Structure formats: structure tokens, C-alpha cells
């Protein structure tokens, strides 16, 4: 499969691009910055929020599927978050419809439901409950995906990623960690699962302390293999752990992240 990966120079992209190539796919990279050393393939220096520039990439390349990773991975103002997550998603989906590309895999986030209090199990049917404007952007991007699945019959998978890191570093991440290898497994399953329509999964590893439902992912063929527990002995407890444990979104759901929606001059 020839896959356009946006944000291919970012932390997930640098792991995913070679991971997909190892699994027999061809990667076309897109990012605002040039290709990282070692990337071997077609690359476009493009802002994914620019619909004309995105459309030009689709006009130039044969693309079978899109993995959309581009976007600022932290909190910003509401307009910044909408541009970073919603406008980019819409630009790609419009180009997909125009060029009959049918599969879209999105790096959504647990912060789309981050304000959900800790319960026994977090399922994919919990209501959208963002913890930040970042989370609002992810919810809205998922809504645009849903619209395009319904209108145009696209197959779209929103992967609500937990903590993508080489290793867990905090107590919360013993539950929310997504290993590098499981991330590649998750995206490949999302690319190849037959006819998902609009689907959501939680992008975490098979963590002993995990409490986010993995069944939706397993139904799509994502079978996580790693477990943060093997690192548990190395994690020092911090004062912030208790507050971070109260909600899905951990630190993003705490008062530290409260800010006005709009920047004023
Ligand atoms: C995310 O979606 C963020 O991009 C990242 O900065 C972390 O906050 C991560 O989730 C997490 O919840 O650990």
C-alpha cells in the first residue's frame, strides 16, 4: 500500500515511516520540514492546513491511504487547535474525496475524552469529553471524519493515542503507554482492516494497569503485544501522580491547563 504520512518528521512519524516500510508498504512523507536523515522516498514540504498545497500533493502522487499525524501535540488557543487538528483533517479528506482515496487513519488522542473521570473501564462509546482545546480539536477532527464517512463512504479510523514514548516515564504512563512497536501494529491494522466505516480505538499497549478498552482495537485487528509493567520498578512516585490519576487525560485535566479560549492582544 502506498501511504501518505503527514507529520512524517515528528516523533510518531519517525517511528511509523520505517515501521510501515518494514511491513511492505511504501511511504510518501509530508511535513512542514524536510525529510529526516535516512528517509528514503517521496517527500513534500507542505503545511497540511493549506488545502491547495495538500491538493497538489494528491494530484502529483498515487496514494492508496492517508495516515494523518501532523498537528501540534500540546495545548494552544482554540483557533490554533482548530487549525492544527480540524483544518488539516478537512484539507486531507477533501483531497481524498477528489482523488478517490478511501482510507484515513488519524492520530487522535485520549484527550478527546480526557475529562472523563476514572472509572473501571473507558470504552469507545463514552461521550466526547475533551480536557483542553487540544482535546476539542481532536473531537472536532473526529466529527469531520464521521461526516466524510457518512457522506462519501470513506473508511476512517480514529486512534485515540495514549502516551507514545520509548518507555513509560510516570506512574500514569504505566496505564497509558503506547510502545513504538504497538504503534506500528495499531496503524497497520487500521490501514488494512476490511471496511471499518467510522471506527474509534484506544491506542495503548496491553498494559497490566491499563483501564481503557482494547476490544474495539482488537475487533479492528490491533493486537498490542507490549506491557508498561516491565518498567514499573524504574518509575519514581511524584506528588502530581494523584491529581493525574483522577481523569483519563492526566495532567491535561488539571487546573494547570486552564486558560482562555482566545488570545487577546
Ligand atoms: C497526547 O495526545 C499528547 O500529544 C501528548 O503530549 C501527551 O499528553 C499524551 O497525549 C498523553 O496523554 O500522555
The one-digit pLDDT tens for each residue of the chain (265 residues) are: 999 999 999 999 999 999 999 999 999 999 999 999 999 999 999 999 999 999 999 999 999 999 999 999 999 999 999 999 999 999 999 999 999 999 999 999 999 999 999 988 899 999 999 999 999 999 999 999 999 999 999 999 999 999 999 999 999 999 999 999 999 999 999 999 999 999 999 999 999 999 999 999 999 999 999 999 999 999 999 999 999 999 999 999 999 999 999 999 8
Would residue 262 count as lying in a domain?
no
Q: For 121-185, give the DSSP string.
A: -B-TTSPP--SSHHHHHHHHHHHHHHHHHHHH--EEEEEEE-EE-SS--STTHHHHEE-HHHHHH
Of residues 203, 179, 205, the one with CA closest to residue 190: 203
Residue with cell 485487528: 221
Would residue 177 count as lying in a domain?
yes
Would residue 139 count as lying in a domain?
yes
Which residue's C-alpha comes closest to atom 5 of ligand 1? 73
How far away, in angstroms, is 71 Cα from ligand 1 center? 12
> Is 134 noted as a catalytic residue in this protein?
yes
How far away, in angstroms, is 73 Cα from ligand 1 center? 7
Domain that holds residue 219: 2-257
pTM value > 0.85: yes
How many other C-beta atoms can be found within 10 angstroms of the C-beta atom of residue 53? 16
How many other C-beta atoms can be found within 10 angstroms of the C-beta atom of residue 152? 13
Would residue 138 count as lying in a domain?
yes
Ligand 1: residue of 10, 75, 161 to mutate (most ligand atoms within 8 A of CB) is: 161
Would residue 264 count as lying in a domain?
no
Biggest CA–CA distance in the chain, Å, is: 52
Strand partners of residue 117: 247
Q: How far apart are CA 246 and CA 242, in angstroms?
A: 7
- Residue 85 beta carbon below 6 angstroms from any ligand 1 atom: no
Would residue 222 count as lying in a domain?
yes
Please state the domain count of the chain.
1
CATH number at residue 221: 3.40.50.720
Amino acid at each position: 500500500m502506498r501511504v501518505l504520512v503527514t507529520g512524517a518528521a515528528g516523533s510518531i512519524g519517525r517511528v511509523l515511516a520505517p515501521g510501515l516500510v518494514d511491513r511492505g508498504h511504501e511511504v510518501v512523507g509530508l511535513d512542514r520540514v524536510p525529510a529526516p536523515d535516512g528517509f528514503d522516498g517521496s517527500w513534500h514540504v507542505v503545511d497540511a492546513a493549506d488545502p491547495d498545497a495538500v491538493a497538489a500533493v494528491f494530484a502529483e502522487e498515487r496514494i492508496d491511504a492517508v495516515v494523518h499525524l501532523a498537528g501540534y501535540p500540546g495545548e494552544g488557543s482554540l483557533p490554533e487547535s482548530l487549525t492544527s487538528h480540524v483544518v488539516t483533517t478537512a484539507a486531507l479528506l477533501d483531497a481524498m474525496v477528489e482523488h478517490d482515496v478511501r482510507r484515513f487513519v488519524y492520530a487522535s488522542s485520549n484527550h478527546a475524552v480526557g475529562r472523563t473521570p476514572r472509572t473501571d473501564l473507558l470504552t469507545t462509546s463514552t461521550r466526547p469529553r475533551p480536557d483542553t482545546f487540544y482535546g476539542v480539536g481532536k473531537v472536532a477532527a473526529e466529527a469531520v471524519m464521521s461526516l466524510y464517512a457518512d457522506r462519501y463512504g470513506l473508511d476512517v479510523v480514529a486512534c485515540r493515542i495514549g502516551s507514545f514514548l520509548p518507555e513509560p516515564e510516570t506512574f500514569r504512563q504505566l496505564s497509558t503507554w503506547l510502545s513504538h512497536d504497538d504503534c506500528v501494529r495499531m496503524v497497520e491494522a487500521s490501514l488494512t482492516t476490511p471496511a471499518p466505516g467510522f471506527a474509534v480505538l484506544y491506542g495503548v499497549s496491553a498494559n497490566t494497569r491499563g483501564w481503557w478498552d482494547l476490544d474495539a482495537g482488537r475487533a479492528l485487528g490491533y493486537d498490542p503485544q507490549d506491557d508498561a509493567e516491565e518498567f514499573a520498578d524504574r518509575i519514581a512516585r511524584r506528588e502530581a501522580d494523584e491529581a493525574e490519576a483522577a481523569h483519563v487525560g492526566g495532567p491535561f485535566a488539571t487546573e494547570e491547563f486552564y486558560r482562555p479560549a482566545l488570545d487577546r492582544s
